[in-house]
Amino acid sequence: MLQGWIQIAVFCAITVACVPLLGGYMAKVFSGQRVFLTPVLRRPERLIHRLLRVDPERSQSWKGYAGSLVVFSALSWLALYVILRTQTLHPFNPGGFHSGTWDLSFNTASSFVTNTNWQFYGGETTLTDFSQMAGLAVQNFLSAAVGITVVIVLIRGIASRRSGAGADDGLGVFFVDLTRTLLYVLLPLSIVVGLALVSQGVLQTLGGSVDFHTLNGTASSLFRGPVASQEAIKVLGTNGGGFFNVNSAMPLENPNQLSNWIEMFSMLIIPASLPYTYGRMVGSRRQGWAIFSAMAILLVVSVAVVYVAESHGTPAQHLAGLTGGNMEGKEQRYGIANSSLFTALTTVMSCGAVNSALESLTGIGGLVPMANLSYSETVFGGVGAGLYTMLLYVLLAVFIGGLMVGRTPEYLGKKIEAREIKLVSLAVIFTPLIVLVFTALALSTKYGAPSIFNPGPQGFSETLYAYLSQANNNGSAWAGYTGYVQPTAGNLGASGISFADLMGGFAMLLGRFVPIVLVLAIAGTLVRKRVTPVGLGTLRTDTPTFVGMNVFVVVLIGALTFFPALLLGPVVQGLTDHLF
């Protein structure tokens, strides 16, 4: 086990060392300063502005920004839905796949536009290469970029030093920010990571499947596709929708010990760097590190718990007389340490890529991903989404802390008043509400039953996890839960489970866009707030005490909301040797 702890520590140290590099770079990019890519990209960027008919000088108010974002996302959704429903017309369809059913396509389109990447579909058995490249991978980029633009706007709102009634309420131009994010951050990183993954053995070809006979004469087929280009943005954009059904457990998607680290690092690096970017943009690196620390504490705790739990095996293993850790649903090349680390990372970060079967985790090991999801993406979270949700919790912590010590709640010189707290509360409570209501509906009606695979508390956990994951735009799954029945490959004779597909789809759309609009509204009220100078009465937000307060608020809200539900599933399984 010691070796595993050393690996985890080294991995975290490497990441922390890289945070100022990427975080500083992004701060420059989003404040419009010169970076090393500027000479190459400045002209193409201007050309794109002209092509898209946007004026970079005409800054949008929060309403204008939100309008552009929502319209663009709605169109993206429509385009993806159409792509998924017209597969027979596609070029790059070596497998001859048919289109998905309407309900499955609704779920998948919602899944990718919301940066969730929940997989009811099986990539290699249902999707053409064209759907994967021009449909899913494009949304991997765009939804990630949308998340980043939202947090940049919130940061601008907090950092602005304009005030007064007549002050300019511009927060930036949506299409300009989107283009910047794609050109300067996501695309260059994807090219580097993609090529690194191919060098380790990840597929990148349009050649289609290769049929062969194995050494003992069995007929088999090697499924191939443009995997690495999609894999890179899948992890960098904390998307998580795998080219293959088993995602990053598939050797052709994650071939070896090193590629696994490349993927974990790529998942973590943008969400981990954004708090640093934030610190730079509001003019106080300490504020950035304070938020980073609160996130890091919760991540380290969850890695530790899941690793210890998985090292002890499951009741089914013990009762069968087996010894050793829980290797069920895990790959030998990652072992228990790297599977545990991956699991903790992917669930705090709202990535949803998996390199092991989450459903086969031990009871307590399975509690960790669920608890992570119940924090609503605050712990690093999805690219952009993580930091903006955490900032909501920071505002809440400022408010609660301010009231506790009898000071006017203010954050970085801006008073937090009734309107902000109403919006924050609404945003914070909205996603958990969807999760609990939808889970209750799925469990108390007969419509949820066809999706459940395992009996007993495991079946309860599958359902709860499905809505936790979809409403929080995570996308990892207790994969026994299904929304699609597929008798043969290629979508022939397939049928969707409409209830699960539709409920999941709506959970993802609501859980994504309602908080985004609320966050933009908060940015809109903050941008014009008068700045009060720091004084003796100011509650400091860059101290260890405040970090503790912040962690406490996150855990309190997450735990109090979901504790009863968690008791019924993973906690029961973790505390008993009883078999169901």
Footprint on residues 463-492 left by another protein (CB under 8 A) = 478-480, 489
* 3-state DSSP assignment of residue 496: strand
**Position among 39, 164, 166, 321 found at the interface with another protein (CB under 8 A):** 321
**Position among 213, 405, 535, 536 found at the interface with another protein (CB under 8 A):** 213
Task: Return the H-helix or E-strand segment holding 210.
Answer: strand 210-213
Q: Are 68 and 178 in contact (CB under 8 A)?
A: no
Q: Are 222 and 212 in contact (CB under 8 A)?
A: yes
Tell me which residues in 8-27 interact with another protein (CB under 8 A): 10
**Position among 30, 112, 121, 141 found at the interface with another protein (CB under 8 A):** 141
- Give CB contacts under 8 A, 24+ apart, made by 104-107: 104/483, 104/484, 104/494, 104/496, 104/501, 105/81, 106/81, 106/501, 106/502, 106/505, 107/483, 107/496, 107/500, 107/501, 107/502, 107/504, 107/505
Q: How far is the CB of 163 from another protein (least distance, A)?
A: 29
CA contacts within 13 A on the Cβ side of 185: 35
Q: Examine residue 431 and tell whether it contacts another protein (CB under 8 A).
A: no
Contact map string, positions 367 to 396, toward another protein, x by CB under 8 A: ------------------------------
With respect to another protein, which residue has the nearer C-beta, 6 or 559?
6
Q: How far is the CB of 348 from another protein (least distance, A)?
A: 20
Query: Using alpha carbons only, how large is the chain's radius of gyration in Å?
Result: 23
**Position among 401, 402, 432, 457 found at the interface with another protein (CB under 8 A):** 457
**# binding residues, another protein (CB under 8 A):** 125
**Position among 209, 408, 495, 543 found at the interface with another protein (CB under 8 A):** 209
Q: Examine residue 511 and tell whether it contacts another protein (CB under 8 A).
A: no
Q: What φ, ψ does residue 220 adopt, rounded to 5°?
A: -145, 170
Q: Examine residue 520 and tell whether it contacts another protein (CB under 8 A).
A: no
Tell me which residues in 56-95 interact with another protein (CB under 8 A): 67-68, 71-72, 75-76, 79
Tell me which residues in 113-132 interact with another protein (CB under 8 A): 122, 124-125
Q: Examine residue 349 and tell whether it contacts another protein (CB under 8 A).
A: no
Q: Which stretch binds another protein (CB under 8 A): 228-236, 498-506, 522-530, 554-562?
A: 228-236
Q: Examine residue 5 and tell whether it contacts another protein (CB under 8 A).
A: no
Q: Which stretch binds another protein (CB under 8 A): 35-43, 289-297, 355-363, 526-534?
A: 355-363
**Position among 218, 418, 536, 564 found at the interface with another protein (CB under 8 A):** 218
Q: Examine residue 357 and tell whether it contacts another protein (CB under 8 A).
A: yes
Q: Which stretch binds another protein (CB under 8 A): 245-253, 433-441, 517-525, 544-552?
A: 245-253
Q: How far is the CB of 462 from another protein (least distance, A)?
A: 9
Measured between alpha carbons, how far is 144 from 138 in angstroms, rounded to an integer?
10
* 3-state DSSP assignment of residue 484: strand
Please give the structure tokens belonging to residue 318.
């013990």
Measured between alpha carbons, how far is 382 from 386 in angstroms, rounded to an integer?
5
Measured between alpha carbons, how far is 100 from 399 in angstroms, rounded to an integer?
48
Q: Which stretch binds another protein (CB under 8 A): 206-214, 271-279, 418-426, 436-444?
A: 206-214
**Position among 223, 411, 460, 546 found at the interface with another protein (CB under 8 A):** 223
**Position among 327, 433, 437, 443 found at the interface with another protein (CB under 8 A):** 327
CB burial of 112-137 (b: ≥16 within 10 Å; e: otherwise) equals bbbbbbbbbbbbbbbbbbbbbbbbbb
**Position among 12, 35, 316, 400 found at the interface with another protein (CB under 8 A):** 316
Any idea how long the chain is?
580
**Position among 56, 94, 255, 413 found at the interface with another protein (CB under 8 A):** 255
Q: Are 188 and 163 in contact (CB under 8 A)?
A: no
Q: How far is the CB of 301 from another protein (least distance, A)?
A: 21
The DSSP code for 446 is: G
With respect to another protein, which residue has the nearer C-beta, 55 or 543?
55
**Position among 84, 228, 471, 566 found at the interface with another protein (CB under 8 A):** 228
Q: How far is the CB of 344 from another protein (least distance, A)?
A: 16
Q: How far is the CB of 460 from another protein (least distance, A)?
A: 11
Q: Which stretch binds another protein (CB under 8 A): 291-299, 323-331, 401-409, 440-448?
A: 323-331
Q: What φ, ψ does residue 271 adopt, rounded to 5°?
A: -60, -35
Helix axes 363-374, 285-310, angle to 10 degrees: 160
CA distances to 247, 385, 458, 530 from 463, rounded to whole Å, are 20, 24, 9, 47
Residues whose CB is less than 8 angstroms from the CB of residue 484 and which lie 6 or more positions away in sequence, other chains included? 101, 104, 120, 121, 122, 494, 495, 496, 497, 501
Q: Examine residue 51 and tell whether it contacts another protein (CB under 8 A).
A: yes
Q: How far is the CB of 139 from another protein (least distance, A)?
A: 9
Task: Return the H-helix or E-strand segment holding 42.
Answer: helix 38-52
Contact map string, positions 172 to 191, toward another protein, x by CB under 8 A: ---x--x---x----x--xx
